[in-house]
Structure 1
Amino acid sequence: MRWLLKRLGQVVITIYVVITLSFVLIRLMPGNVIDALIAQLETEGVEASQIQAQVTNLAGIDPEDPIHIAYIDYMTDVLRGDLGTSLWSGKEVSVMIADTLPWTVFLLSWATFLSFFVGIALGALMAYYEGGRLDLGLTSYAMVAGSIPYYVFAVLLVLFLSYRYQIFPTSGRAPNGMTPGFTWPYISGVINHAVLPVLSLVLSGGIASLSMRGNSIRVLGEDYLRVARLRGLSDRTIAVQYVARNALLPMYTGFMISLGSMFSGAVILETVFSYYGMGFILVQSVDHRDYPVMLGCFMVITIAVVVALFVADLTYSKIDPRVEGTNSDTY
């Protein structure tokens, strides 16, 4: 229990520190929302003083307030569950995140799980056929693909499969003009729009297969596998209960981290595909110096990463008996 309370305290402190640092760094960025509004509305004859008054009335805060006053006001609102109002659009930040976050989770959870399990399957094949042509080919691909950023694959997929061959849509998260609902035309349209973003992440996921290959080869040389064969256990039992399980253990923490940090990967991906998710509105908020939206998005990303690490700490001892007792009061 003492270990659990200690870890919970670390979670709270980490989230608080990251939010504070994000607030300070964002407020120290050059320019502000008023400058962005002036740049866009100057041609319409709107005076800067009128724009600043409109922003102050809209958001309930003055972007020109001293940073310590703005920080106290913001943290007080956050503790009340109020993430503020977008300085640019006038919408509540919590509403904007609630509208876009499920789409980002849908897109990136599929990409993360597929990348992980495809990497496991390929890594197991590479280890089983170690030194063969299949191992050489897959290892070469994994090394090349793992060194190429996912957004390069994204641009290539859009160029060829969207613009040139027009197999998949170029942008959006659902078919235009179609009423949302649990109908096959709408669901199939949503899947169709998500194929290329997911595929771009899966194609660049070579690191997981290389990790699985290395772990499997290491496990295959362990003495307990020889004992298992001497006991007469079947190859399937040895492969599943001994090789696969022990090879996956070192990858578990990395998988949990990738689940938590997948929201940060949405920024470029959703921009390339014009996929209206949380990463897309984060990019827009940076362009417009929209402090509340930026802080709200960063808060979600921080909480997701910290919670994922916390869950990994809690569950690792359940899947690996060798670390049992680490999460105890004697630690």
Structure 2
Amino acid sequence: MSYLLKRTAQAVFTVFSVITLSFVIVRLLPGGPADFLRAQLIQQSGGSLTQEQINQRIASQTNLAVDEPLYVQYVDYMAAILRGDFGTSTWHNEPAAAVLGPAIPWTVFLMATSLFIAFVLGVVLGAFMAYREGSGFDVGSTAVSLLTNSVPSYVIALLLLTFAGYRFGWFPTGGQYASGLEPGLSPEFLLSAMHHGALPIVSLVVASFGGWALNMRGNSIRVLGEDYLRVARLRGLPERRIALRYVGRNAILPMYTGLLIAIGFMFGGSIILEEIFAYPGVGYYMIQAIGQRDYPVMMGAFILIAIAVTIGVFVADVTYGVIDPRAEGGEARESY
């Protein structure tokens, strides 16, 4: 129980620190959002707005009452963020939460699908590589895994977009689904969503499955050398049972933490890909916000990404002892 309380406190402190950092960036850095908005409002109004009106607009867009003491601004900012109020987007002219909220399911769909496919493909391939260690299949698969794991996903994305998108026209080059379709669970909409998400999903799978395969191969080879496998074979246990229940289970366990952390990175892992494929997810709006200096959307996306990663690490820490009873309590259960 003390371990759970400790990890919970660490997770809460991390999220609290991230929100505090966003306050510092917004309020204290020279040339930050408040200063930028002030200069923009003065220029646009041509001097027709009073200082009080300018401060009110800055407060509505950044959640900062610039005419209040710093500690009051901090408390108000923290309270607004905890309510899910990231301020008003200066580019979209609507709450930043309203901009990012509809984009979250699309980023989750993109990243969760690609992560699931890459993980399953990597685990299966890595297990076969380990069982055929030193064979031509192992050498060739290792080379392919190293190559794909070394190439950034955005390079693969550009190649797929150029050939499968523009040159041959097999897949759409932007959007979440075909225009004119009503979002829902209809077969037409689901097929269109998969068609539009195919290229970014393939890009992420190709760029990441090799890493999972190499990890699984290394873990499996280590497990295959354990004494208890020799005992299992001497007992006459079927090789299929040994492969699945002894080798596979123990080889996957060390990858569990990395999988949950990868889930946490879902919101930030697709930033460049969503921009390349004009796929309106959280990463797409974050890149757009950086280009337009839309600080409320930018900081909202930053906070969402940080919270997702923190939750992923937290879940990995508190559940690892459940899936692996050999894990001890306390510091021995730390996943990083």
Judge same fold: TM > 0.5, yes or no: yes
Map 1:216-295 to 2 at 5 A.
216-295=220-299
Give the Cα–Cα distance (whole angstroms) in 2 for the partners of residues 310 and 132 of structure 1. Answer: 40
Give the Cα–Cα distance (whole angstroms) in 1 for the partners of residues 301 and 235 of structure 2. Answer: 55
- Runs of 4+ with >6 A deviation: 36-39
5+ unaligned residues in a row in structure 1: which ranges? none
| Cα deviation, residue 184, structure 1 | 1.3
In the other structure, the counterpart of 1:11 is: 11
- 1:154–1:272 Cα contact (<8 Å) kept: yes
Moved more, 207-216 or 282-291: 282-291
In the other structure, the counterpart of 2:203 is: 200
Map 1:42-61 to 2 at 5 A.
46-47=44-45, 49=47, 56-57=56-57, 60=60
- 1:77–1:83 Cα contact (<8 Å) kept: yes
Structure 2 CA distance for partners of 1:48 and 1:207, relative to 1, 3 Å: farther
Q: What amino acid does structure 2 have at the position aligned with 1:224?
A: Y
| Cα deviation, residue 217, structure 1 | 0.7
Give the Cα–Cα distance (whole angstroms) in 1 for the partners of residues 25 and 213 of structure 2. Answer: 37
Moved more, 108-117 or 93-102: 93-102
| Cα deviation, residue 23, structure 1 | 3.1
- 1:58–1:87 Cα contact (<8 Å) kept: no
- 2:146–2:211 Cα contact (<8 Å) kept: yes
Alignment partner of 1:113 is 2:116:
yes
Give the Cα–Cα distance (whole angstroms) in 1 for the partners of residues 36 and 46 of structure 2. Answer: 9
Q: Deviations over 1:157-211 (max 9, x none)?
A: 0001000110000011110122222211111100000111110010011111111
Q: What amino acid does structure 2 have at the position aligned with 1:257?
A: I
Structure 2 CA distance for partners of 1:198 and 1:97, relative to 1, 3 Å: same
- 1:19–1:295 Cα contact (<8 Å) kept: no
Q: Deviations over 1:33-88 (max 9, x none)?
A: 8858988xx8xxx5554699689538625779389364443213223443322122
- 2:23–2:74 Cα contact (<8 Å) kept: yes
Q: Which has the higher contact order (CA 8 A, sep 6+)?
A: 1
Give the Cα–Cα distance (whole angstroms) in 1 for the partners of residues 46 and 176 of structure 2. Answer: 36
Give the Cα–Cα distance (whole angstroms) in 2 for the partners of residues 188 and 105 of structure 1. Answer: 17
Give the Cα–Cα distance (whole angstroms) in 1 for the partners of residues 45 and 95 of structure 2. Answer: 26
Identity of aligned residues (%): 46
Structure 2 CA distance for partners of 1:56 and 1:284, relative to 1, 3 Å: farther
- 1:83–1:94 Cα contact (<8 Å) kept: yes
Structure 2 CA distance for partners of 1:29 and 1:201, relative to 1, 3 Å: farther
| Cα deviation, residue 3, structure 1 | 2.1
Structure 2 CA distance for partners of 1:247 and 1:197, relative to 1, 3 Å: same
| Cα deviation, residue 314, structure 1 | 1.5
Number of corresponding residues: 325
In the other structure, the counterpart of 2:23 is: 23
Alignment partner of 1:143 is 2:183:
no
Per the alignment, in what secondary structure is the counterpart of residue 326 of structure 2? helix
| Cα deviation, residue 292, structure 1 | 1.8
Give the Cα–Cα distance (whole angstroms) in 1 for the partners of residues 194 and 8 of structure 2. Answer: 38
Per the alignment, in what secondary structure is the counterpart of residue 264 of structure 1? helix
Give the Cα–Cα distance (whole angstroms) in 1 for the partners of residues 38 and 213 of structure 2. Answer: 47
When the two chains are superposed, the root-mean-square deviation of aligned CA atoms in Å is: 2.8
Q: Deviations over 1:209-259 (max 9, x none)?
A: 111111111111111100000011000100001100111111110011000
In the other structure, the counterpart of 2:164 is: 161
Give the Cα–Cα distance (whole angstroms) in 1 for the partners of residues 113 and 32 of structure 2. Answer: 37
Per the alignment, in what secondary structure is the counterpart of residue 322 of structure 1? coil
Alignment partner of 1:182 is 2:188:
no
- 2:61–2:90 Cα contact (<8 Å) kept: no
In the other structure, the counterpart of 2:78 is: 75
Give the Cα–Cα distance (whole angstroms) in 2 for the partners of residues 327 and 34 of structure 1. Answer: 45
Task: Select which of 128, 132, 138 maps to 1:125.
Answer: 128
Q: What amino acid does structure 2 have at the position aligned with 1:259?
A: I
| Cα deviation, residue 291, structure 1 | 2.1
- 1:264–1:301 Cα contact (<8 Å) kept: yes
- 1:59–1:90 Cα contact (<8 Å) kept: no
Give the Cα–Cα distance (whole angstroms) in 2 for the partners of residues 324 and 213 of structure 1. Answer: 26
Moved more, 153-162 or 61-70: 61-70
